[in-house]
Structure 1
Amino acid sequence: VSQINGCPTCLSIHVPGARKAGVEQRMLDLLPSWRQDSSGFFSAQQRAALYLAEALTEPQPGSGRTTAEDAVEAALTEFTAEQVAALEWAVVLINAYNRISIGSGHPPLPTRG
């Protein structure tokens, strides 16, 4: 979500956090191209979560593109209804944080050594 919104502060927090949590650098590098992943690098659950995050971050009603309804339906094939609700709330919250941070002009956090 922070990548879609281009939030430098949030990215400077969450990308190092993802690395620390064990997310491979290759996954972070390939994240912008998740839709073109023909190798199966991203799991079905990861693709469903990314689809949902994209649909709730960039709603395009009437465009023929991702809709929230389609994304929720896809997510429900991989997650329980409770898990989908938790994912939706996480996406909504990160979108809110991104907008506040971007609107306030927060800079990226300094790199920690």
Structure 2
Amino acid sequence: MDIRFDLFENELATRFAKRFAGAALVIQDSPLPKATQELVSLRASQINGCGHCIDMHVKEAAAAGESAVRLHLVAAWRESTVFTEAEQAALALTEEGTRLADASHGVSDETWALVRKHYDDDQTAALVSLVALINAANRLGVITRRKGGSYEAGMFTTALKS
């Protein structure tokens, strides 16, 4: 399957993408740990089946020094010993925030309490915003059939500068 529509070759979509990327930069520059940002983005992308985003976040995380073991275990984080309690709270929020349609409760009070135990207000704001943003990015990628495999670490940052 080929890409259905290249959002980077349409003027309106390009204007939107620049603003979308600006929101991503706010989160990227936040006090939420970079490793947590990549783990959250990877997990949501796995759930949503966005090959392009999975490709991007695995490669960005690896380039930033994330271990292959942790990247491989993100999909089974509950059955793993390699994630901190704070990362587990972020991953739980990611799953519940991504699967809103699958659960009548949305994000549980238990998960929210764990997030608030481990993250201050700015980190929580960044985490909630990141879950929303990566889910939107996943939808853009899946709807247009943007495939994974060709992303190279640093491409996102380079694209923002052009």
The TM-score normalised by the length of structure 2 is: 0.61
In the alignment, the residues of structure 2 paired with residue 74 and residue 61 of structure 1 have an alpha-carbon distance, to the nearest angstrom, of 20
Percent of matched pairs sharing the same residue: 32
Q: Is the CA contact (8 Å cut-off) linking 2:52 and 2:151 kept in structure 1?
A: no
Alignment counterpart, residue 59 of structure 2, candidates 16, 28, 33: 16
In the alignment, the residues of structure 1 paired with residue 150 and residue 93 of structure 2 have an alpha-carbon distance, to the nearest angstrom, of 30
The superposition leaves residues 72-104 of structure 1 with CA deviations (integer Å, 9 ceiling, x where unpaired) of 221001111221111000110000010011001
Q: Is the CA contact (8 Å cut-off) linking 1:7 and 1:101 kept in structure 2?
A: yes
Change over 3 Å in CA distance of 1:101–1:111 after alignment to 2: closer
**Larger Cα Rg: Structure 1 or Structure 2?**
2
Question: In the alignment, residue 22 of structure 1 is paired with which amino acid?
Answer: G
In the alignment, the residues of structure 2 paired with residue 44 and residue 100 of structure 1 have an alpha-carbon distance, to the nearest angstrom, of 31
Question: Could you list the runs of 4 or more consecutive aligned residues of structure 1 that deviate by over 3 angstroms after TM superposition?
Answer: none
Question: In the alignment, residue 25 of structure 1 is paired with which amino acid?
Answer: A
Matches within 5 A, 1:78-97: 78-97=118-137
Question: In the alignment, residue 21 of structure 1 is paired with which amino acid?
Answer: A
* Equivalent residue number for residue 50 of structure 1: 91
> Offset at 1:107?
1.5
The TM-score normalised by the length of structure 1 is: 0.85
In the alignment, the residues of structure 1 paired with residue 118 and residue 75 of structure 2 have an alpha-carbon distance, to the nearest angstrom, of 21
Q: Is the CA contact (8 Å cut-off) linking 1:72 and 1:84 kept in structure 2?
A: no
Q: Is the CA contact (8 Å cut-off) linking 2:56 and 2:151 kept in structure 1?
A: no
* Equivalent residue number for residue 33 of structure 1: 76
Question: In the alignment, residue 8 of structure 1 is paired with which amino acid?
Answer: G
In the alignment, the residues of structure 2 paired with residue 111 and residue 86 of structure 1 have an alpha-carbon distance, to the nearest angstrom, of 24
Change over 3 Å in CA distance of 1:53–1:22 after alignment to 2: same
Q: Extract unaligned runs of 5+ from structure 1.
A: none
What value does the CA root-mean-square deviation take over the aligned residues? 1.7
Q: Extract unaligned runs of 5+ from structure 2.
A: 1-43, 153-162
Q: How many residues align?
A: 107
Normalized per residue, the structure richer in helix is: 2
